[in-house]
Amino acid sequence: MASALSRLDKFPVKPRIMWCMFCLECSVESFEPRSGKPLEINCFLENHETSVCRACFGEGYSYCKPAAAGMLGDAQDLTDVLEWVESLLFSGTDEYRVAVLTAVQRLCACFVTAEAEHRKFHGIGELCGDGNWKDYHAVLAQRRQLVGYGEDGHLKPLRLLPGDDGYMALAAAKQRFWEYIQPIVKEQHGKKGHPGDEYCPFPRVLSML
């Protein structure tokens, strides 16, 4: 029991959804699809005393910037995609892996762009005033009333909605990603790769235009 409890204090911790945008950007920029290895967001929290990740601390940043609160659902979707893509890489040719990984790299890059557009529209960049954050929190409160609670009793994470800055760019990126990758996966895995089966556990993530 003691050894099991010791895991509660184990660091570093790699956030599944609350990774910071700096780490995502660095991972996307340094990623090489020809390596055949999955794209990982290498964001690590070092200890209990700070919420600044290893990379941001090394750069001298005073805080980490996770995806904006109004896009945490989109961040969760992106993590789901990355985990799904990783499950596709256990078999297949080198050409197949490069094609899949190139597609996911571009999707991640589009997420970075959409998140930046979202922040710019709401004025919640690093130099924004307190008033901007108050307005943004008011928007979040309204959105949370719309999405409600999930089956687990927790509030559903927020996603971009039609009309939001960044929505069209991200929705188009998801659609391009799916239209590109679906035939590749189908060719590699036969009849698999359709929504609902083991190779596509996340049809909800691919919002249509």
pLDDT tens sequence across 7-47: 545 678 899 999 999 999 999 999 999 999 999 999 998 87
Question: Looking at residue 34, what is its pLDDT?
Answer: 95
Bigger pLDDT: 57 vs 50: 57
pLDDT in tens, 70-106: 999 999 999 999 998 888 887 788 999 999 999 999 9
What does the block give as tokens for 183? 């035939």
> What is the mean pLDDT of the segment spanning 104-116?
96
CA–CA gap between residue 183 and residue 162 (Å, rounded): 28
Judged by average pLDDT, the poorest of 38-52, 110-124, 155-169 is 38-52
**What single string gives the DSSP state of each residue in the chain?**
-HHHHHGGG---B--SS--BHHHHHHHHHH--GGG-PPP-----B--TT---BHHHHHTT-SS--BSPGGGHHHHHHHHHHHHHHHHTTTSS-HHHHHHHHHHHHHHHHHHHHHHHHHHHHHT-STT--HHHHHHHHHHHHHHHHHH-B-TTSSBPPP---TTSTTHHHHHHHHHHHHHHHHHHHHHHHTT--STTSTT-S-GGGS---
What is the rounded average pLDDT for all residues in the chain? 83
Helix 167-189 and helix 94-122, axial crossing angle in degrees, nearest 10? 170
What is the model's pTM? Answer: 0.84
Question: Looking at residue 190, what is its pLDDT?
Answer: 65
